[in-house]
Amino acid sequence: MSSSLFDYEPRDWRTNTDGRLRFALVGVGWWTTEFVLPAIETTDGCVATTVVSSSTEKTDRVRAEYETVERGVTYDEFADGEAADAYDAVYVCTPNATHLEHVEAAAALGKAVLCEKPMEATVERAERLVDACGEADVPLMVAYRMHTEPAVRRARALIRDGVIGEPVLVHGENSQPLLEMIDDPDQWRLNPDLTGYGTSVMDLGIYPLNTARFVLDADPVRVQSTMDSTHEAFDEVPDQVATFSVVFDDGTHAACSSSQHAADHTRLEVVGTEGRLELEPAFHMETQLTVERDGETVAFDTEGVDQMAEEFEYFAQRVLADEPVHADGEHGLADMKAIAAIHEAAESGETVDIE
């Protein structure tokens, strides 16, 4: 392979903006405390100044640990605009079915929004979320951290440059042992009122689906799917395990699987007419890229990064520079429509077109 394949700047989105974007973090669960707050501490362009939770015990604990966090407010106080002068942007990391209310509150306050994926519990609520930001004319970005992962961005560039020829097939896998990670069968990811259409595709299958969209620069047009739930903890959701196939508008076909009740495993492979590339591990906070062509295999020495820090730094730089963000609300809506179609296909046993 040509040495030119290694001449690549994965952070081509960096700008020379000054200042820092001040964040209110809405939802102080394990993801925010274990990953987001430590990541923000390492960035140049971000600072967490406010935390929002139903638990004053949680907000007090965060304020005691992070000296930049000046304010802790309840959800109602946040919606009423209390402490609004302490932050410029809002990061929403609460159960899926509660994103809308917090994004609407942030938009009404004129704050830029970084909303965790999936955008909401249903397509209809996601559409309302996008509309709220559009009507308020505030930036909305969906938090797909793989988009700023250097290995994924390099894979995208290699595909664009034709290194593996024309993409033909995608194989994507994402699984984790949810009940070992959170030993509570009553957790929100297993509650359809909070998670939405299901658990494995909404929370895990979205990664191979969306990352394939990103590296291919293509959108899904039709899907097929099968799902099953046999463990008693998954009685209320249809997809303890799910497999789904996707046809993209560039003609690429994808076969994906996801499960919340399996060993921790992540992979994304794109097979082209002249070679293949693989991300493995792919999605669980570390990513390694390998490319195979003409009988030669190259494992790229991809710099390991804090994926949450990269995502926040990107968002802050784009907002501070008054530049468009990606992935925006319309991009997130395409995933929501695809996930709804995947669940419809599993229930009907039919191929479902995405409208």
* Average pLDDT in the chain: 95
Amino acid identity of residue 73, one-letter, is: V
CATH code for the part of the protein at 149-303+329-353 = 3.30.360.10
pLDDT at 14 over 90: no
pLDDT of 3 > 50? The answer is no
Determine how many CB atoms are found less than 10 A away from the CB of residue 236. Answer: 14
List strands edge to edge, sheet with 112-116. 71-73, 46-52, 21-26, 89-92, 112-116, 140-143
Q: How confident is the model at residue 16 (pLDDT cuts 50, 70, 90)?
A: confident
**Domain parsing of the chain, residue ranges:** 21-145, 149-303+329-353
Q: pLDDT by residue (tens digit) across 181-237?
A: 999 999 999 999 999 999 999 999 999 999 999 999 999 999 999 999 999 999 999
The share of the chain scoring above pLDDT 90, in percent, equals: 93
Structure tokens at 113: 């929004």
Give the pLDDT score at 214. 98
Contact residues for 164 (Cβ-Cβ < 8 A; gap 6+): 158, 270, 271, 272, 273, 274, 275, 276, 277, 291, 293
pTM for the model: 0.96
Residue 2 has pLDDT above 70, yes or no: no
- Class (C level, CATH) for 21-145: alpha beta
Cα(20)–Cα(25) distance, integer angstroms? 15
Q: What is the pLDDT of residue 165?
A: 98
Mean local confidence (pLDDT), 286-297: 95
Domains 21-145 and 149-303+329-353 share a fold: no
Q: Looking at per-residue confidence, does 11 or 60 come out higher?
A: 60
pLDDT value for 4:
46
